């Protein structure tokens, strides 16, 4: 599977952890929105785009770790997650145009 479609897992409260395949390239619009059980994500370097509001309103999502910068992060991809920390690899320059709107903390 190379993509996860629009709203594929929206509102699935039982999802606590995600391990994406190294073949995955696209996470669609609102694919995991309102997954309140989700706590942490690791985004592999194979991901080329994250859709609008893909992980929005995941109220318990605290940490997202990127293996590398993602070419496309649509607006509000991580919106409404007030305690979220996003981590990029050491030495990576995360420019403003690559950061999601509403982001609280970047390390």
pLDDT band for position 96 (50/70/90)? very low
Q: Is the pLDDT of residue 99 over 50?
A: yes
Sequential DSSP letters for 60-103: T--EEEESS--SEE-TTTTTT-TT-EEE--TT----GGGSPTT-
DSSP assignment letter at 22: T
Q: How far is CA 82 from CA 17, 86, 94, in A?
A: 19, 12, 20
The pTM assigned to this predicted structure is 0.85
Q: What angle do CA 15, 80, 11 make, to 5 degrees?
A: 30
Q: Is the pLDDT of residue 44 over 90?
A: yes
Rounded Cα distance, 79 and 91, in Å:
25
Rounded Cα distance, 104 and 81, in Å:
8
């Amino acid at each position: 599977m190379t993509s996860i479609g629009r709203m594929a897992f929206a509102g699935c409260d039982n999802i606590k952890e995600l391990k994406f395949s190294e073949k995955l390239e696209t996470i669609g619009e609102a694919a995991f929105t309102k997954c309140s059980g989700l706590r942490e994500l690791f985004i592999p370097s194979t991901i080329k785009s994250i859709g609008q509001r893909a992980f929005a309103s995941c109220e318990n999502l605290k940490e997202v770790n990127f293996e590398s910068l993602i070419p496309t992060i649509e607006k509000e991809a991580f919106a409404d997650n007030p305690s979220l920390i996003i981590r990029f690899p050491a030495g990576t320059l995360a420019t403003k145009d690559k950061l999601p709107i509403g982001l609280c903390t970047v390390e």
